[in-house]
Amino acid sequence: MPDPSSGHVTRLANARTVVAWDEGAGAHVYLSDADVVFADGRLLFVGRGYDGPADETVDARGLMVMPGLVNIHSHPSSEPMNKGLNDEIGSPGLYNSSLYEYMPIFRADEAAQPDCARVAFSEMLLSGVTTVADLSVPYDGWWEVAEESGLRVCFAPMFRSARWYTRNGHVVEYEWDEAAGERAMAQALDLVDRAQGHESGLFSGMVIPAQIDTCSEGLIRDSFAEAAKRDLPWQIHAAQSVVEFHEITRRHGVTPIGWLDQLGVLSDRSIIGHAIFLDDHASTRWSTDSDLDRLADTGTRVAHCPTVFARRGITLRHLGRYIARGIGVSLGTDTYPHDMLSEMRLAAYLARTQAVTPRALTTTDLFNAVTVEAARALGHQDIGRLAAGCRADLVLVDLDHPLMLPAHDPLRALIYGADARVVQGVIVGGRRVVERGQVLTIDHASAAQRLRAAQERVAAAVPSRDWAGRTVDQIAPPTFASR
């Protein structure tokens, strides 16, 4: 695939199916036997019968060409470390959350973070993600690994006023340093400003005070003002645990969503990471019944990441009602595996089981959530859709792969019946970054091998980090005893 800046015109000819954008209808549509043409990183033509010049023509018969998927919420620099450790544990004394007792002791050390990101980015690319909001605490090598990946990266450096910890497994405490939070925000804003001006056009920025319970009122208000000044999206983790819900109601006498509303930070630039525990959730039933309306009426969006919570028996009640109320919902790969296709499938199944009806969530809603809705959340109209003038961010799906057959409806076959093995290619900004199941930009295998060694190092240090001095095997017993 040629350099996307070269002016080289590439035609994907006679694709069996193209998921194209119909501007008049404001919707994705299927086009059969269609062409997709791009140059200089942008789409020139999406439709049938292209008769213009082409420097290269690729036979796309047997392929579905669809827009690259947009991942609105992810932690690439830490989550891959948790594979095999965090699968079946949640603190019994903290409503089965793993946030406070376990995740801090499994955290990737500084040396492992670049390879964590390489593994996560590779998994995303293989599942068709072309844009990711990377919610990381800044680390050495972040910028370089993002450039290496070829992904379109929205840098979202997290900052906070306090850290949480537990000394007994059932009480969460907070260590506050508001001055450090302000310094971290200033550093984060500098990085965001750099990303916005990056010459590649692949980088952008987001302002993200990390969690509602670890950020002071001033940090939340000030960060929102900085996002507004820069016309950037603003995201915060909120309503993500029962512990947090009780902490905010204890501090302020209102729910987490109610508190953010009082602070004036719910808006059409705002994204709430998770927004599970609203005032009408069975686990946190409050005296009001207004949180869903607050989100809808302010235009606030929600980042939904089902897998990380489903592992602990937690989910939204339910995704379909958020969308029906007019709330813009997007999906994220908050945990391993960073596979957007499996995240989409689980989101659909949980929505339907929670609502006790298969009509709770349509595939149209689901696909919109990872394309146009997520693009809007990031402030973009030129990704997540295939139309002339948009970015050439494409996913090529092999419709003749056995996992895709039979395929009466290709997107349903992809989401409910197949997996990342059917993704033949991924193109970001006109550049091929995945081909025949292999990431071309990252040495995925080598990064995974280094990460295995890093996990052994982190596991050995767990007793010194754990409040009770337990080993990894005491915290997360092996599936079978070793003999």
Read off the pLDDT band of 10 (50, 70, 90).
very high
Read off the pLDDT band of 1 (50, 70, 90).
very low
Residues of each domain in the chain carrying CATH 2.30.40.10? 10-67+386-439
- The span from the CA of 315 to the CA of 304, in Å, is 9
Read off the pLDDT band of 160 (50, 70, 90).
very high
What pLDDT shows up at residue 119? 98
What pLDDT shows up at residue 6? 64
What pLDDT shows up at residue 199? 87
pLDDT digits (tens, 9 = 90+) for 133-145: 999 999 999 999 9
- Name the class of domain 69-377: alpha beta
pLDDT digits (tens, 9 = 90+) for 281-304: 999 999 999 999 999 999 999 999
- The span from the CA of 174 to the CA of 165, in Å, is 6
Read off the pLDDT band of 2 (50, 70, 90).
very low
Average confidence score pLDDT of the chain: 96
What pLDDT shows up at residue 181? 98
CATH of span 10-67+386-439: 2.30.40.10
pLDDT digits (tens, 9 = 90+) for 212-222: 999 999 999 99
Tell me if 337 sits within 8 A of 410, measured CB to CB: no
pLDDT at 3 over 90: no
Residues of each domain in the chain carrying CATH 3.20.20.140? 69-377
Beta strands 208-209 and 158-159, pairing class? parallel
Which residues lie below 8 Å from residue 266, measured CB to CB, with a gap of 6+? Answer: 257, 260, 294, 295, 298, 300
pLDDT digits (tens, 9 = 90+) for 48-94: 999 999 999 999 999 999 999 999 999 999 999 999 999 999 999 99
